[in-house]
Amino acid sequence: MPNILHWISTMDRIERMLLGVNKTMNLVEVGPSHNPIVPKSAGWNTIIVDYADAKFLKEHYKHQDYECIEDVDVVWRSGQMHEAFQDEAHQSYDAVISSHSLEHMPDAIGFLLSCEKLINSNGVIKLALPDKRCCFDFFSGLSTSGDMLSAHHNKDRVHSKRTSFNEVAYATKNMGRSGWSIEDEAAELELVWPLDFAYAVFRRASATNGGEYFDFHAWKFTPSSFALIIEEIAHLGILDLRIAEISETMGHEFFVTLKKSDGHKPDSAQFNKRRLELLRLSMKELSRQITNMAL
């Protein structure tokens, strides 16, 4: 059973993200763009992975705080992430840190497998994930293990036309914001884009893995639904990971620590009880979304 963290209100998101991580560790941060969690400039021993080099990122984010952009050590644009590292770097890192990246990955299982290959036996994977109940994914359904397994089986490298249409067609703001606090009423909801525009995006989106990449949220979670996916995929033997810690949602996000498996695997009857527990908790989390909307 993972440790459910109930965060104290005085702890900021960086402190929550970095519980158990210190500057003596060898770290990988994935996709920090202009907002790194463990910047080398602050003394962290970090390998920065991004989809482009620093020069490109600074031009792309020139209207934002691009001075925070770090030199990119590993440019990852194709294949599995661990393949962009030298073989001798595999199993050598104490932590992989990913803030609001996994939900963008067309093949999330492939990404987690790469993280697993990079960390050492005592290493951790630190994730910050948006809660779909309080961001522009508000009207989207929860992702399932089957969804992720299908993407992994297909070796998806770009988002599906279905994903592109659904994100644009049902993107939602509340009080004019694309992300809000789980404590907020969902009383001022509005759809962001007209349906015709969603269809135009659908037509333009790539139909095959060889096509151009367009960025969307492929995956939508609440804390319990994410826990269910990780536990199911690990039970099937596809991931050798377990959830060490998972937080309740704070603001519009929740935090997860993954570690390598301890070798324990419950029998099918025990595991079905666990799955049912997480399914019930997921429904309870969704009921809060409905309550917030009804206030």
Angle in degrees, CA 162, 163, 168, rounded to 5: 105
At 249 the pLDDT is 95
Q: pLDDT tens for residues 122-138?
A: 999 999 999 999 999 99
Whether 127 and 95 have beta carbons less than 8 Å apart is answered as no
- Who contacts 97 (Cβ-Cβ below 8 Å, separation ≥6)? 17, 18, 21, 27, 28, 29, 30, 37, 38, 126
Over residues 77-103, the mean pLDDT reads 96
Alpha-helical (H) ranges within 180-267 are: 195-204, 223-235
Domains and CATH numbers, the chain: 3-294 (3.40.50.150)
- The reported pLDDT for the residue numbered 7 is 46
Interatomic CA distance for residues 91 and 80, integer angstroms? 15
pLDDT (0 to 100) of residue 295: 64
**Within a 10 A sphere around the Cβ of 151, how many other Cβ atoms?**
23
pLDDT at position 273 = 97
Q: Which positions ≥6 away from 261 have C-beta within 8 Å?
A: 234, 240, 241, 242
- How does pLDDT run across 1-34, given as a tens digit for each residue? 555 555 444 468 999 999 999 999 999 999 998 8
Say whether pLDDT at 213 is over 90: no
pLDDT band at 229 (very low <50, low <70, confident <90, very high): very high
What does the alpha-carbon distance between residue 129 and residue 275 come to, in Å, rounded to a whole number? 21
Per-residue model confidence (pLDDT) at position 25: 98
Is 101 in contact with 227 (CB distance < 8 Å)? Answer: no
> Which tens digits make up the pLDDT trace of 195-208?
999 999 999 998 77
CA 50, 30, 289: angle at the middle one, nearest 5?
Answer: 120
> Could you tell me what percent of the chain has a pLDDT over 90?
81
Which CA distances in Å does 233 have to 38, 76, 124, 149, 187?
Answer: 29, 25, 18, 8, 36
50-59 average pLDDT score:
90
Binning pLDDT at 50, 70 and 90, where does residue 66 land?
low
Residue with tokens 């997921």: 282
Average pLDDT over the chain, rounded to whole?
93
CA 160 to chain centre: 18
Q: What is the pLDDT of residue 4?
A: 52
E strand map for the chain: 3-5, 27-30, 46-50, 74-75, 93-99, 119-130, 172-174, 189-191, 241-247, 253-260
pLDDT at residue 207, as a whole number? 79
User: Kind and range of the H or E element at 271?
Assistant: helix 268-294
> Would you place residue 80 in the very low, low, confident or very high pLDDT band (cuts 50, 70, 90)?
very high
- In this prediction, residue 62 carries a pLDDT of 76
- Tens-digit pLDDT profile for residues 231-284: 999 999 999 999 999 999 999 999 999 999 988 888 999 999 999 999 999 999
Residue with tokens 């989809």: 51
DSSP 39: -
Phi/psi of residue 98, each to 5°? Answer: -140, 110
Sheet holding 253-260, edge to edge: 3-5, 241-247, 253-260, 119-130, 93-99, 27-30, 46-50, 74-75
Residue 161 has pLDDT above 70, yes or no: yes
Question: How much of the chain, in percent, has pLDDT values that exceed 70?
Answer: 95
pLDDT number for residue 3 = 54
Lowest mean pLDDT among 19-23, 29-33, 47-51, 62-66: 62-66
